[in-house]
Amino acid sequence: MTGNQPLAERLRPVTLDDYIGQEHLVGPNAVIRKMMDSGLLSSFILWGPPGVGKTTLAKIIANTLDRPFYILSAINSGVKEIREVLDKARNSPFFGSRNPILFIDEIHRFSKAQQDSLLGAVEQGVITLIGATTENPSFEVISPLLSRCQVYILKSLEKEDLIRLLNRALQKDLYLSSRKIIVEENEALLRFSGGDARKLLNVLELVLNATQEEPAILTNQLVTERLQENLALYDKNGEMHYDIISAFIKSIRGGDPDAAVYYLARMLEGGEDIKFIARRLLILSAEDIGLANPNALLLAQSTFDAVHKIGMPESRIILSECAIYLATSPKSNSAYGAIDEALAEVRQSGHLPVPLHLRNAPTKLMKQLGYGKEYKYAHSYEGNFAEQDFLPEKIKMKRFYKPQNNPSEEKILERLRIWWKSRFS
């Protein structure tokens, strides 16, 4: 378009009135809105996918509350940069104003030492910390820091939010509003955005940049064609992060080792966090391979540990080995299905009473009430098995685990049939 700022930056909101989405956090009587209204801001972490307004929200909060605002990116900041900011916060006179805000983008990329360096300042109120992450803070943020911060979850934007954003861009942006643009169809724009505001604006800008006709008529076909022509540009900043990891997981699930290493290479070349890749492999090993090859979980756990210790470039070999092993393993999602069915049963039937013979009986009264009575200790019986009821009476014949058709689980099923007879017929 022009040599000026990208469209997404030009349209970045500066007040909550212009902020789109996240009503559960910033709407009337919502938690962050209440903090801003009261001026009593505590440290917190914003967790959500890219392009949903984490950085923008932090800037709006600082601007609204008129607080000094420091921003660090975990990609290119270390302990030295953190200490410099904290020293400024301690030594600069703020004329009676409240403590400054330190915003850390991609806080999940900080090492333990880097996160440790924040603890004292957060605890003493030297700064109010706002962290932003696309990864689960429970895995990536150290417990002492996590205990000092609330975690607020941001959601992908809904269709209505994206349409509002699209209309605002066409009406409010100085450059776009000067052009005649007709949106005949918006489905492709919305689909390619994936609920990501920044991606929507990037796609819109890219398409219009390559469309010099006046009026510019946006159709699904035009958007798709322009993106295919400019795919490298579209993906230059990792915009397809979730598409690539989805293709990676589905290739492994589908048993294609070549596609698995190809998408692994795409992620590594694009600078993807290797810990994120290793974590997804760990989840997949239990979800999609499971009991068809229990060793898959062990290898994925070893991969996860090794990647944390070794780093790049050597971790590419470890990740490749794991991805190929998982892709070529037999597949089963029986464990995944079993726990989800069991959870559904618990939510439907509530907390059914545990059979008396399975209950612990630490007191005389409990023994008198029948707790633990007639329980059969499996090791006292032939084959270390004694048939008895373990599920609550109401659902005692319920089946959650359903062995699938692979050599490992066929052996499991054979054993269960010997133990339980007709129950697993």
pLDDT, one tens digit per residue, over 95-120 is 456 789 999 998 988 888 888 888 88
- pLDDT over threshold 80, residue 92: no
- CA 260 to centroid of chain Cα atoms: 21
CA distance 44 to 47: 10
* CB 110 within 8 Å of CB 136: no
Arithmetic mean of pLDDT, 163-175:
91
Q: Which pLDDT band, with edges at 50, 70 and 90, does 1 fall under? A: very low
Most confident of 193-197, 233-237, 282-286: 282-286
Q: Which of 155-164, 185-194, 356-365 has the lowest mean pLDDT?
A: 356-365
Q: Which pLDDT band, with edges at 50, 70 and 90, does 47 fall under? A: very high
* CA distance readout (Å), 403 to 220, 291, 331, 408, 425: 45, 9, 12, 9, 11
Average pLDDT for the chain = 86
Q: Which residue has the higher pLDDT, 212 or 340?
A: 340
Arithmetic mean of pLDDT, 243-249:
86
Q: Is 87 helix (H, G, I), strand (E, B) or coil?
A: helix
Q: Which pLDDT band, with edges at 50, 70 and 90, does 398 fall under? A: confident
* 341: alpha, beta or left? (left if phi > 0; alpha if psi -120 to 50): alpha
Angle, helix 257-269 to helix 274-284, in steps of 10 degrees: 150
Looking at the domain covering 242-327, what would its CATH class be? mainly alpha
State percent of the chain over pLDDT 90: 31
- pLDDT over threshold 80, residue 425: no
Q: Where are the domains of the chain?
A: 22-153, 159-234, 242-327, 353-424
User: In this structure, how many other beta carbons lie within 10 angstroms of the beta carbon of residue 49?
Assistant: 17
Q: Which pLDDT band, with edges at 50, 70 and 90, does 236 fall under? A: very low
- pLDDT over threshold 70, residue 309: yes
- pLDDT over threshold 50, residue 253: yes
Q: Which pLDDT band, with edges at 50, 70 and 90, does 3 fall under? A: very low
Arithmetic mean of pLDDT, 294-301:
95
CA distance 9 to 2: 13
Q: Which of 77-86, 226-235, 264-273 has the lowest mean pLDDT?
A: 226-235
CA distance 421 to 397: 13
Cα dihedral sign for 212, 12, 149, 23? Answer: negative
The two domains 22-153 and 159-234 share their CATH topology (first three levels equal): no
Arithmetic mean of pLDDT, 23-31:
91
pLDDT, one tens digit per residue, over 318-338 is 999 999 999 999 999 999 999
Q: What is the pLDDT of residue 229?
A: 64
- In the block, which residue shows the tokens 């359903």? 402
Q: Name the CATH superfamily housing domain 22-153.
A: P-loop containing nucleotide triphosphate hydrolases (3.40.50.300)
- pLDDT over threshold 90, residue 199: no
- pLDDT over threshold 90, residue 302: yes
Q: What is the pLDDT of residue 322?
A: 96
- The C-alpha R_g of the chain, in whole angstroms, comes to 27
Q: What is the pLDDT of residue 78?
A: 77
Protein fold of 159-234: Helicase, Ruva Protein; domain 3 (1.10.8)
Which amino acid, 90? R
* CB 263 within 8 Å of CB 247: yes
